[in-house]
Amino acid sequence: MDAIDLILAKREGRRLSDEQIDWFIGSYTEGTVVDEQAAALLMAILFRGLDPDELTRWTQQMIATGTRADLSSLARPTVDKHSTGGVGDKISLVLCPLVAACGAAVPQTAGRGLGHTGGTLDKMETIPGWRSTLDPAEVARILGGVGAVINAAGPDLAPADGKLYALRDITGTVESIPLIASSIMSKKIAEGTGALVLDVKVGTGAFMKDVARARELSEVMVGLGAAHGVRTTALLTQMDVPLGRTAGNALEVVEAVTVLAGGGPSDIIELTLALAQEMLDLVGLDADPAAALADGRAMDTWQAMVRAQGGDPTAVLPRAAEVELVAAPATGTLSKLDAMGVGVAAWRLGAGRARKEDDVSPIAGVVWRATVGDHVEAGQPLIELHLDDPARLPAALDALHGAIEVSPTPVNPPKMILGRVT
Longest dimension (CA), the chain: 68
pLDDT of residue 355: 78
What is the per-residue burial (b if ≥16 Cβ within 10 Å, else e) of 336-349?
Answer: bbbbbbbbbbbbbb
Residue 189 CA to residue 55 CA, distance in Å, equals 14
What residues act catalytically? 82, 161, 168, 183, 187
**CATH code, 350:** 3.90.1170.30
Q: Which residues of the chain have pLDDT under 70?
A: none
Report yes or no on 62 lying in a domain: no
Domain boundary among 308, 342, 359: 308
Report yes or no on 63 lying in a domain: no
**CATH code, 231:** 3.40.1030.10
Residue 334 CA to residue 203 CA, distance in Å, equals 18
How far apart, in Å, do the first and last CA atoms of the chain sit? 38
Same domain assignment for residues 240 and 339: no
Same domain assignment for residues 393 and 266: no
Same domain assignment for residues 206 and 287: yes
Helix H, strand E, coil C: the string for 364-383 is CEEEECCCCCCEECCCCEEE
Residue 26's alpha-carbon distances to 3, 228, 232, in angstroms, are 12, 19, 27
Residue 122 CA to residue 113 CA, distance in Å, equals 7
Same domain assignment for residues 96 and 21: no
Residue 383 CA to residue 143 CA, distance in Å, equals 39
pLDDT of residue 112: 87
Same domain assignment for residues 190 and 260: yes
Same domain assignment for residues 286 and 379: no
Report yes or no on 58 lying in a domain: no
Same domain assignment for residues 237 and 337: no
Same domain assignment for residues 100 and 168: yes
Domain boundary among 273, 308, 343: 308
pLDDT of residue 232: 98
pLDDT of residue 2: 93
CB 149 within 8 A of CB 140: no
**CATH code, 37:** 1.20.970.10
Beta bridge partners, 316, equal: none
Same domain assignment for residues 380 and 269: no
Report yes or no on 413 lying in a domain: no
Q: How many domains does the chain have?
A: 3
If you compute the radius of gyration of the chain from its CA atoms, what whole number of angstroms results? 22
Same domain assignment for residues 172 and 95: yes
Same domain assignment for residues 360 and 234: no
Q: Which residues contact 179 (CB under 8 A, 6 or more apart)?
A: 42, 45, 46, 164, 168, 173
Q: Which residues contact 164 (CB under 8 A, 6 or more apart)?
A: 28, 38, 42, 62, 179, 183
pTM of the model: 0.96
Report yes or no on 275 lying in a domain: yes
Report yes or no on 221 lying in a domain: yes
Domain boundary among 285, 308, 331: 308
Residue 145 CA to residue 27 CA, distance in Å, equals 40
Domain that residue 267 falls in: 80-155+163-308
Residue 243 CA to residue 241 CA, distance in Å, equals 7
Report yes or no on 66 lying in a domain: no
CB 153 within 8 A of CB 108: no
pLDDT of residue 353: 84
Same domain assignment for residues 178 and 227: yes
Report yes or no on 271 lying in a domain: yes
